[in-house]
Structure 1
């Protein structure tokens, strides 16, 4: 890997576990929107492994140079140029290969606990308009259940998050699932991932 490319070691560690879930649920999808592509490492790994799926990266403007560097380095035919997206303000992108259409899949990793809760709500509101009626959504990261931490390491991580930014926090699964259900998504899978994370998958039924 060239030194100029941004590197998040966690992406290297979790990418294959996430890919196994995506392959189960994205096999019949065509256009996926990644919300918060970060370094771009997930995008190139997943797009290379699923060549029938067109991957569309998005993130806040400060992350775009790194994402673009990864996309250029990989040179994959099934990735679109990275798009600026702040979930709080939009505008939300559309599939570049199918103007006027909506995405039939979306993916987001390690974003909900970094955003403030109002931004999490805004993200699902934006997905409501960006996703097709039969779309699949997959979200990766740490989650609480019933307000309880799943591990002591997640408790420590949550303390670190809140010290860094009081708006950040590990989210309760029930609260996020309510937002998903509010835009017509039904739970398909809640898969255990390494390091006390989850990969949660919903499908739209309207």
Structure 2
């Protein structure tokens, strides 16, 4: 079964105020990290769009200390959670979180790589279009845009659990739902981003690896 947007659980520890815990993050973070080790640059700024609880960014930053990490999210409560995780781990390579709405103007002028985990299906399509526009604007030639989550694909049978998940998302918000990989690729190409790799991931998820066209 695919990762679900499970209800937030309250965090614990000395910086627990406002801290959220997403169980799905602990299930997928190491599989994602294994891909990132092969794809991220050796140094530079990594922008995470839609950081959610903040668990991913602190995990990746601890494993890849030569990179500078910039978390972001449009939700003020998420920003509080991200900052709580950042304060708890005390890593020097995690910047304070930025309020960033993928579909609006970005408060970032440049990033060497961009990550976006489990946002595309739990947001309006305009957020994905904004993600591609923003990535096309701030990434250098060859810069990485990494997406992770469940998708639909032409001529590839969709797991029943993903179909059920898609239906449940649309029931919660008609603007949500699993996107076709082909539509995501087309939106990316319109902003100068080219799909370089598509990787099967655990729990019927995919990693989509885009590079900014030279």
Measure the CA separation in 2 of the matches of 1:38 and 1:205. Answer: 28
Count of matched residue positions in the alignment of Structure 1 and Structure 2: 199
Matches within 5 A, 1:26-105: 26-60=40-74, 61-94=76-109, 102-105=110-113
Q: Normalized against structure 2, the TM-score is what?
A: 0.88
Q: Find the counterpart in structure 1 of residue 176 from structure 2.
A: 168
Question: Over aligned residues, Cα RMSD in angstroms?
Answer: 1.6
Q: Find the counterpart in structure 1 of residue 135 from structure 2.
A: 127
* Aligned partners of 2:136 and 2:212 also within 8 Å: no
Cα deviations by residue, 1:35-59 (Å, 9 ceiling, x for unpaired): 0000000000001000111110010
CA spacing shift, 1:203–1:135, aligned 2, 3 Å: same
The range that moved more, 20-29 or 49-58, is 20-29
Listed as ranges, the gaps of 5+ residues in structure 1 are: 95-101
Deviation at 1:185, TM superposition (A): 1.8
Which of 21, 29, 43 is the matching residue for 1:7? Answer: 21
Q: Find the counterpart in structure 2 of residue 99 from structure 1.
A: none
Listed as ranges, the gaps of 5+ residues in structure 2 are: 1-10
Q: Find the counterpart in structure 1 of residue 30 from structure 2.
A: 16
> Any idea what SS the aligned residue of 2:26 has?
helix
> Any idea what SS the aligned residue of 2:175 has?
coil
Q: Normalized against structure 1, the TM-score is what?
A: 0.91
> Any idea what SS the aligned residue of 2:123 has?
coil
Bigger strand fraction: 1
* Aligned partners of 2:136 and 2:193 also within 8 Å: no
Q: Find the counterpart in structure 1 of residue 166 from structure 2.
A: 158
> Any idea what SS the aligned residue of 2:95 has?
strand
> Any idea what SS the aligned residue of 1:51 has?
coil
